[in-house]
C-alpha cells in the first residue's frame, strides 16, 4: 500500500528526518512513535502530500506520491489531525457532507447519492442526536468523532491519524481507537497513526515505527518495540514492561524515584 524509500527532510540547515525507509501493507494498522521533536508529524504530513520531501520517494498504491493530483489523492487518502475541527458554525451533518468533496464536480454534485453512507457513519459514531447541532455546541470528544466521521465519509483506502487522542480523556481515547480498529477490520482500510501514548500503540498497532531525533530506530511488532532497554535508549527513562492481562500485549508502567 505504502512504500517509503530513503526519505529525508531538512529546514534550512536543520535535518528533521534522515533516511527513513519502511513499507505498510494493505489493511495494516501501522503506528509511528517517538519523543517530541522526533519527526513523527512531519513524516505523516509528507505521506499525506502536505509537505514535500527533499530526498527519496513515497509510493502509494504503486504510484509515486509526486505524480498524484491533489483531488486524486483525496479520493484515496483521508487525514484526522490532533485538534480535528475548529469551533465554527457548521452543523454536524454539514461537516460530514464535506467529506464527499473529493468526489464532487465543480457544481458540488457527484455520480452517486452519499446520503445512506453519511447516515450509516453518523449512527455508527453515535452522532444521530447531535447531527443538527453546530460544532461550537459540542464537547472536544464529540468534535473529534465528527472529524473522524468526515474522514470516514471519504471512504479512504488509507487513513492517516496524527495524534488523534491527545486532547481526549481516557474514555474517549478508547472509544475513538475502537471505532477506527473496527472500521479497519470491516473495510480493510490501511491505517497509519502517529501516537503519543505507547500503551495505545501497543494495543492497536500491528507494527510500529520508532523514531528518535529524525532517525529510524526500529520497525517491528509491539513485543519487539516495547522493551525496557529500547524505550530507555529513546525516551531516557527505563519503564517496567508487563503483559496486558486480557490482550497479552506489552504495557508500560513508569517508575519514580520519589516517595521511597
pLDDT at 166 over 80: no
Within 10 angstroms of residue 113's Cβ, the number of other Cβ atoms is: 8
CATH number at residue 40: 3.40.50.300
Give the angle subtended at the CA of 158 by the CAs of 69 and 133, to the nearest 5°: 95
- At 63-90, the pLDDT tens digits run 999 999 888 898 899 998 876 666 678 8
Judged by DSSP in three states, 5 sits in strand
Residue 191 belongs to some domain of the structure: yes
Is 227 within a domain? no
The CA-based angle 29-31-35, given to 5 degrees, is 170
Looking at the structure of the chain, the number of domains it has is 1
Question: Across residues 102-124, what is the average pLDDT?
Answer: 81
For residue 259, being part of any structural domain is answered with: no
- The answer to whether residue 153 is domain-embedded is yes
Give strand pairing partners of 251. Answer: 242
**pTM of the predicted model, to two decimals?**
0.90
pLDDT greater than 90 at residue 112: no
Q: Which domain holds residue 121?
A: 2-221
| Within-domain flag for 120 | yes
User: How high is the mean pLDDT of the chain?
Assistant: 89
The helix (run of H) or strand (run of E) holding residue 204 is helix 198-204
Q: Does 156 map to a domain?
A: yes
Amino acid at each position: 500500500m505504502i512504500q517509503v524509500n530513503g526519505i529525508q527532510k531538512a529546514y534550512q540547515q536543520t535535518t528533521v528526518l534522515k533516511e527513513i525507509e519502511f513499507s505498510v501493507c494493505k489493511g495494516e494498522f501501522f503506528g509511528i512513535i517517538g519523543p517530541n521533536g522526533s519527526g513523527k508529524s512531519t513524516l505523516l504530513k509528507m505521506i499525506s502530500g502536505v509537505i514535500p520531501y527533499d530526498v527519496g520517494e513515497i509510493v502509494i498504491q504503486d504510484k509515486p506520491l509526486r505524480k498524484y493530483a491533489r483531488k486524486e489523492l483525496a479520493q484515496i487518502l483521508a487525514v484526522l489531525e490532533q485538534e480535528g475541527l475548529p469551533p465554527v458554525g457548521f452543523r454536524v451533518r454539514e461537516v460530514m457532507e464535506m467529506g464527499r468533496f473529493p468526489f464532487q464536480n465543480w457544481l458540488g454534485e457527484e455520480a452517486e447519492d452519499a446520503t445512506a453512507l453519511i447516515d450509516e457513519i453518523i449512527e455508527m459514531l453515535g452522532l444521530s442526536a447531535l447531527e443538527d447541532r453546530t460544532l461550537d455546541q459540542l464537547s472536544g470528544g464529540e468534535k473529534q468523532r465528527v472529524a473522524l466521521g468526515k474522514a470516514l465519509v471519504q471512504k479512504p483506502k488509507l487513513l492517516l491519524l496524527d495524534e488523534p487522542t491527545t486532547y481526549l480523556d481516557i474514555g474517549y481515547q478508547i472509544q475513538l481507537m475502537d471505532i477506527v480498529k473496527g472500521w479497519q477490520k470491516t473495510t480493510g482500510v490501511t491505517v497509519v497513526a502517529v501516537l503519543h501514548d505507547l500503551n495505545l500503540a501497543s494495543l492497536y498497532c500491528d507494527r510500529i515505527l520508532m523514531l528518535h531525533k529524525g532517525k529510524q530506530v526500529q520497525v517491528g511488532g509491539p513485543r519487539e518495540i516495547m522493551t525496557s532497554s529500547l524505550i530507555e535508549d529513546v525516551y531516557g527513562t527505563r519503564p517496567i514492561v508487563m503483559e496486558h492481562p486480557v490482550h497479552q500485549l506489552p504495557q508500560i508502567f513508569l517508575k519514580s524515584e520519589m516517595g521511597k
